[in-house]
A and B are shown apart, each in its own frame.
Chain A
C-alpha cells in the first residue's frame, strides 16, 4: 500500500459514515491484514504515537493545551476520540528512526567485508494523522526520495505504511496550518480520511477513501453513504478549526527577508533567549538532519555504521578543522529558521514548515517562529503579541 502515490481523494467513491464504535472494526481489519496500528495514546502526560488495538487505547475525552513553551492535557466535556491536535512525536519517529544501524563490517586479516543490514520496514497503519502531518510526509518524501540519491530505508517503510488521517475539528494555541497552506482539512496523501462528527445526538465518523487500499479497508466496515447534512457537518468542523488558529504568519516575504538579512539585530535578540537545546528540531516533523557514527568493538574486529538524528543546534553539527562554523547560538538559530522558511524552498521547492506549532509549544523558553520569522528584516517592528486574529 503506497499512500503517497495515491491520486487525490474523491476519485474512489463517495464519502460514507459509520458509528464511532465501529472504528474498532477498522483496527481489526488492519490487524487482519498484518498491520501494526500506531495511533495517539497517552503516555507520561502527553499524547504520543503508540500501539493501538482497542478504542480505549485512544485518548478518549482528552484534549491538549498548547501555548509557547507550555503543554498540558485536560479533560473534555465530551467523549471525542480525536479532540486534540498534535503531540511531541510525529511519524518521523517511525519512518526515519532516531537511531538505525545500517551496516556491519568484519575484519579478515588485512582486509574486511561489509554487510548491509536490511531496513526494518514492518507494515504499519498510522491512525490520527493530521493535515499538517500529511504535508510533512510530502516534504520528507521529497527530501528522502526526491533527490538523485534515495534513502531506500525510508522508502521501504513508507511503502509499508497505511495512512488513516483525521481532520481537525478544532485548532490549538500554536497552530498555524492555515498560514502555511497545509490544513486544517486533509486534501491528499492518505488512504482513509476521517472526520469526527460529535454532538448531543450523534457520534460518527465521516470517512473518505484516498486510495484503492483505503477503499478496500472501508469496505470491511458497516457504514452508510454520507448525506448532505453529514458533509455539511464535516465541512463546518474544518471551518471551525480554520477559524481557531492560534498563530498567523504572512509567508509572502519571509523567504526574501530571511535570506537578505543575516545580520539583522533580531538574530541577537532571539539568541539571547534560545538555549540551543534542539527541542524544536526533535519535535519538528520535517527536520531531517542526521549524523553517521562509525564504531568498532573492543577487539577492533567488528565495526558498524549507525545513522542517528542530529540537530543543527549542536556544536558538532558544523564542526570543521578544529572548530564549529556556527559557534554562536545566533548563527545556529539563524541557520535553522532560514533553512526552514527560506533555503528549503531553494532546495525542495516548498517551505519546510507545515504550521503544526510543535516547535513553539515545546520550546522551553517559548520562542515563537511566527513572531521571529515576521520580525527579521521587518525594520525593527516588534510584534510580540500574535494571537492569530486580525
Chain B
C-alpha cells in the first residue's frame, strides 16, 4: 500500500538496468522500491529527481503495456539530466508522475499513422510505436521517418533495423551528414515526407523533436495536404512542478504539463512558431 504523498514529493525507484545509447544519452529502466509502477500512456512524462541535484522532465520511452518498470531515455543536457543519465544499476532516483497528455493512439485507429521523429524525439514516440506494433491490425499504413545528426547519434538503431525487417511498416532514416558507411538518406527530415506520399484524409501524424524540426515538419505536412487537426506535436517548456501550480510551462493558454506535452496542431496553430510565446 503506497501512502499518498503531497504533489511535490517523489517516490523512490531503483535503476534496474542502464544502457548507453549514444555518447551523451542513456536509457534507464526504473523499478519502484515499493509497490507497482503506475500505468501510463504513450507520450506522458515523469519528473526524475537526482538526490541533491534537481529534477528534470523526461518522457517515458518504454512499452506502456509492461507494468513492471518505467523506461526513460535521458540526454546529458544540464546538471540534473547529466546526473541521471550517468546513473548505474542499483542507483536510487526519485520519480513523480506520470503527467501530461498522450499520443492519440485510439483516435488514429482505422487510418494510416506517420511518425516523424528528430534526434532525441524518437524516445517519446517509442511507446507509441510499440503500441502500433502490438495492435498492428487496428491501423493502416505505418511509416517512421527519423532524422538524426550523424549515424553514430541514431537512437535505437538496432530496433529501427528490426522494425524495418518486419515488412509491415516503412522505416526511413536520414542524417544531417554522414561518412562512407551510411546507406540511408542525408538531408533534412521533412524531405522524407515528400518521398513517402501520404493519404491526406486518412493519416494521423505524430511529430517529436527539437521545436525547429517540428516547425519545418509541420510546414512540410501542410504542404502535403495534411490538416492541422491530424497532426500532433510534443511541446516542451520550462518545467518545475509538473502539476499546473507553478505557472512556468505556460504556452499561450495551455500548461504543457497538463494540456500537453502532446498537443494537436490546430489547437495551437495561432501561437505555434510565434517567437517568445
* B77 pairs with A321, CB closer than 8 A: yes
* B241 pairs with A296, CB closer than 8 A: no
Q: How far does the Cβ of A108 sit from chain B's closest Cβ, in whole Å?
A: 9
Judge whether B167 is part of the interface by a CB distance below 8 angstroms.
no
* A339 pairs with B277, CB closer than 8 A: no
Q: How far does the Cβ of B118 sit from chain A's closest Cβ, in whole Å?
A: 14
Contacts A103-B9, A114-B9, A296-B51 known; A151 to B245 CB distance under 8 Å? yes
Judge whether A212 is part of the interface by a CB distance below 8 angstroms.
no
Q: How far does the Cβ of B208 sit from chain A's closest Cβ, in whole Å?
A: 15
Judge whether A269 is part of the interface by a CB distance below 8 angstroms.
no
Chain B 233-259 interface mask (CB, 8 Å, partner A; 1/0): 000111011011111101011010010
Q: How far does the Cβ of A151 sit from chain B's closest Cβ, in whole Å?
A: 6
Chain A 285-301 interface mask (CB, 8 Å, partner B; 1/0): 00011111011100010
Contacting residue for A116 out of B9, B51, B52, CB 8 A: B9
Q: How far does the Cβ of B53 sit from chain A's closest Cβ, in whole Å?
A: 7
Q: How far is the CA of A289 from the CA of B240 in the complex (A)?
A: 11
Q: How far is the CA of A348 from the CA of B157 in the complex (A)?
A: 45
Nearest CB to that of B50 among chain A residues? A294
* B248 pairs with A289, CB closer than 8 A: yes
Chain A 309-344 interface mask (CB, 8 Å, partner B; 1/0): 010100001111100011110111011000100110
Judge whether B161 is part of the interface by a CB distance below 8 angstroms.
no
Judge whether B2 is part of the interface by a CB distance below 8 angstroms.
no
B1-52 contacts to A (CB < 8 Å): 5-10, 12, 14, 33, 49, 51-52
* B250 pairs with A335, CB closer than 8 A: yes
Nearest CB to that of A303 among chain B residues? B52
Q: Please report the number of residue pairs spanning A and B whose Cβ atoms sit closer than 8 angstroms.
A: 123
Q: Which residues from A are CB-within-8-Å of B255?
A: 347
* A111 pairs with B238, CB closer than 8 A: no
Contacting residue for A294 out of B5, B14, B54, B277, CB 8 A: B54
* A325 pairs with B237, CB closer than 8 A: yes
Judge whether B90 is part of the interface by a CB distance below 8 angstroms.
yes
* A343 pairs with B253, CB closer than 8 A: yes
Chain B 104-143 interface mask (CB, 8 Å, partner A; 1/0): 0000000000000000000000000000000000000000
* B52 pairs with A339, CB closer than 8 A: no
Contacts A114-B9, A305-B8, A325-B238 known; A147 to B51 CB distance under 8 Å? no
Q: How far does the Cβ of B241 sit from chain A's closest Cβ, in whole Å?
A: 6
B50-104 contacts to A (CB < 8 Å): 51-55, 77, 90-92, 94
Nearest CB to that of A302 among chain B residues? B52
Judge whether A148 is part of the interface by a CB distance below 8 angstroms.
yes
Contacts A105-B51, A291-B240, A292-B241 known; A114 to B94 CB distance under 8 Å? yes
Q: Which residues from A are CB-within-8-Å of B12?
A: 111-114
Q: How far does the Cβ of B101 sit from chain A's closest Cβ, in whole Å?
A: 12
* A326 pairs with B8, CB closer than 8 A: no
* B90 pairs with A110, CB closer than 8 A: yes
Nearest CB to that of A331 among chain B residues? B276
Contacts A114-B9, A343-B253 known; A149 to B51 CB distance under 8 Å? no
**Known A114-B94, A290-B240; 9 more pairs at CB < 8 Å:** A110-B90, A289-B247, A290-B245, A303-B52, A325-B237, A328-B276, A331-B275, A331-B276, A343-B250
Pick 13 A–B contacts, CB within 8 A, sort by A: A110-B91, A114-B9, A114-B94, A148-B244, A153-B6, A290-B246, A291-B248, A292-B240, A294-B55, A307-B8, A307-B246, A321-B77, A346-B253
Give B residues with C-beta under 8 Å from A: 5-10, 12, 14, 33, 49, 51-55, 77, 90-92, 94, 236-238, 240-241, 243-248, 250, 252-253, 255, 258, 270-271, 274-277
Closest 7 CB pairs of A and B: A331-B276, A296-B52, A289-B247, A346-B253, A149-B243, A343-B253, A303-B52
